[in-house]
Amino acid sequence: MADLDDLRDGKDFGLDKPARNKSFYLKGSDNLDWGLKKRLGRIFRPSTGRTVMLAFDHGFIMGPTSGLERIDLNIVPIAQYADCLMACRGSMRSMLPPELDKPLCLRADAGSTILTELNHNCVIDMEDAVRLDASAIAVMVGIGDAATEASTVANLYNAVDKGNRFGIPVLGVTAVGKNMVRDAKYFSLAARVCAENGAHVVKTYYCDGFEQVTAACPVPIVIAGGKKLPELEALELAYKAIDQGAAGVDMGRNVFQSESPAAMIQAVSGVVHNGLKPAAALELYRDLKH
């Protein structure tokens, strides 16, 4: 119980100042609960409203792919340059030092590998995300895949229910199957379906007409880096996506398979947060590389 001695009445109530009613800086997030906003604020810089996510969750599908043979050697040294880390719970527990002060986006679904087609992925228990102190979880959605669309949309829907209960945002990841067209019509549909089913953020791919995709999606979009590109092309990809409304990038192979991963992620950050044009970002990459 508080000490009752020397109680003092309040004096300064700021009667000449109206109560502050500040909106949240992320698209579509004003009405979210405080905990959801707090975690999103770890991922997206308040100063820019954008994020550079470092993805190294590839192992759950690809195994020890090039650049991810050793997470402790390939990823931990460059994690400091990312705003958020996208990883699976196994690598988080076994290879990421707990003192690494970076928000984590937990890859939360599993069930497919490069040896199979998309299938009926399961989603981890939300309590495990809490145990890992995840700032968000990522769930794949197979829009347009007749065999998996219904089950993966249900996975997302249920994950959002549980995420809202625990205050953990859900990132809807649009999967691209072999028969799906990579165009603005498809990605607008897939991103909107994720958002309409409650995803707080959507991860999708850049395409021609990308401004249509971002305009039609009521929550922030982060683009996937995709396959390894020459450094200038990857920086151009990031620049065009941000210029056309993306709130960030989630790059993996274009960073950890670069000749200088540390230099590359800093160059990408220069594009996303500092507005560097691709040529200037490439120059930064070369300077940091040497």
Predicted confidence (pLDDT) per residue in 229-276, tens digit: 999 999 999 999 999 999 999 999 999 999 999 999 999 999 999 999
Q: For the residues 203-219, what does the mean pLDDT come to?
A: 97
What tokens appear for 32 in the block?
């979210």
Q: Residue 63's pLDDT is what?
A: 78
CB of 95 within 8 A of CB of 79? no
The catalytic residue among 185, 203, 240, 277 is 203
Q: For the residues 84-98, what does the mean pLDDT come to?
A: 91
The pTM for the full model equals 0.91
Q: Residue 61's pLDDT is what?
A: 72
How many percent of the chain have pLDDT more than 70? 94
Q: How far is CA 121 from CA 61, 108, 150, 288, in A?
A: 12, 10, 11, 40
Distance of CA 96 to the CA centre of its chain: 18
Q: How far is CA 115 from CA 60, 119, 131, in A?
A: 12, 11, 31
CB of 192 within 8 A of CB of 156? no
Higher per-residue confidence, 107 vs 12: 107
* Strand 136-141 relative to strand 122-123, pairing: unpaired
CB of 18 within 8 A of CB of 214? no
Q: Residue 204's pLDDT is what?
A: 96
CB of 27 within 8 A of CB of 248? no
Q: What confidence tens digit (pLDDT) does each residue in 20-50 have? A: 878 899 999 999 999 999 999 999 999 999 9
The yes-or-no verdict on residue 135 having pLDDT over 80 is: yes
Q: Residue 281's pLDDT is what?
A: 98
Q: For the residues 5-12, what does the mean pLDDT come to?
A: 75
Annotation marks residue 203 as catalytic: yes
Q: Residue 40's pLDDT is what?
A: 98
The yes-or-no verdict on residue 165 having pLDDT over 60 is: yes
